[in-house]
Amino acid sequence: MVRALLSLGAALLGAAVVLADDIPTCSLDKKCPKEAPCCSQYNQCGVGAFCLGGCDPRMSYSLDSCVPAPVCEDKVYKMDSLDRYKDISEYLGDPKTADWVGQGEPLVYKDNILLTMPPKSVGTVLATTTYMWYGKVKARMKTSRGAGVVTAFILFSDVKDEIDYEFVGVDLQTAQTNYYFQGIPDYNNSGNITVKGDTYDEFHDYEIEWTPDEIKWLVDGKVGRTKKRSETWNSTMNQWDYPQTPSRVQISIWPGGSEKNAKGTVDWAGGLIDWDSDEIKHFGYYFATFSEVTVECYKTDSPPGTSKGRSYYYNDIRATNDTVVDSNKRTTLKSLLGTGTDMDKGDGTTSGKPSSSSAPVNNIPGGGSTPPNQVPGGGNPNTGSGSGSSGGAPACDASIFTQNCNEDSSGSGADNKNNGARGVDRTLGASAFAVIVGLAGLMLI
């Protein structure tokens, strides 16, 4: 099955800093340069948000280029408000200021959060600001529906370990599951769970129980699939190909059926998206509904899996669970000009815009030219991972920082019959979904 690398850090035009076409790229064989030391999940180098959630230390200038990640916290996230949500252009790494960070157009409707995907957009993605190093996570949710529309609920680490649920909008009785170690594709890792009822019309509880020894996927309290670490030994590489590093919870809706995607991705997603569907006409967007997300951290007295300190970081490029340090290192930047090795750089403003005398710098992923797969839920071919790649059509005006790209300035939309759900179009400030290019062809999760 073809899927897309569901990761945060997607598709921002950004806060108008650095609009160069030659943003440095990064990989395991090509690390970021010193002046732009942090490798984002989309394999581009920069500072600021590049160094926070999704920063891959293996591909960065040095292991300490990435800012340490906030440790796991037991929490019930009531998805009835956006008060604890920040766009990545506004977040500096302090989990006390936000529970969720992301981009797109999340909306509150009837005490739930809708992740929306208006016409020709690339959807919405949210990630927790703290990381889970084993434990339990449960999402009470309704999926989206429609050909080419994909909903996802996953765990994803900065070194691309992953455990996921994915739902394609043409099959409302199936939860697709998968896992990956450091983004290495293995197309035998997937498995389906049949859901009783309808995933769009009815709330269901989807749960991941993750320990150092096994992963369980549960639907409505019943185990639908189990994968043991002992079954993942890779004798060639002499390692366990098993997810094992601190991960954020990520939820998203994205266009698997974008015409920009590879045929295999489109076919897996149920075909091309109809941007003139009844869903779009009636509501103004495709959407997935989230009611509650619960995180329960793994309880252990010694690593791996502890959450006794303030932050996690890696002390070796192998990036396995024995290289994770549960520490008291700081997790916050003073501005989006900072990095893991210079966390106080900048004037303390959220935007981190340089002064007129400062050199341009990439501080928000997607700022500048649009790189491969800059979409919520999209992967990057440079990771060597992935089971398909998601994409979106570049249909937004670069001067408009809202996601209702094809609607008139009043935001009324075409045949908008659901103003109650839609509410007032929420301006996204510096993080535009303008000028987003989705890419094609990679396989993963």
Active-site residue list: 162, 166
- The letter for the amino acid at 66 is C
Bridge partners, residue 311, by sequence: 70, 327
Sheet architecture: strand order including 311-314: 69-70, 311-314, 324-327
Cα 316 to Cα 23, 63, 241, 407: the distances in Å are 26, 7, 17, 49
Contact 147, 274 (CB under 8 A): yes
- Residue 348 C-alpha from the chain's centroid: 26
Joined together, the tokens standing for residue 334 give: 């003073």
Using CA atoms, how far apart are residues 279 and 284, in angstroms rounded to an integer?
Answer: 7
Cα 146 to Cα 30, 255, 276, 326: the distances in Å are 40, 10, 11, 43
Q: What does DSSP say about strands 38-39 and 191-194: parallel, antiparallel, or unpaired?
A: unpaired
Q: What does DSSP say about strands 100-103 and 85-87: parallel, antiparallel, or unpaired?
A: parallel
Using CA atoms, how far apart are residues 350 and 335, in angstroms rounded to an integer?
Answer: 6
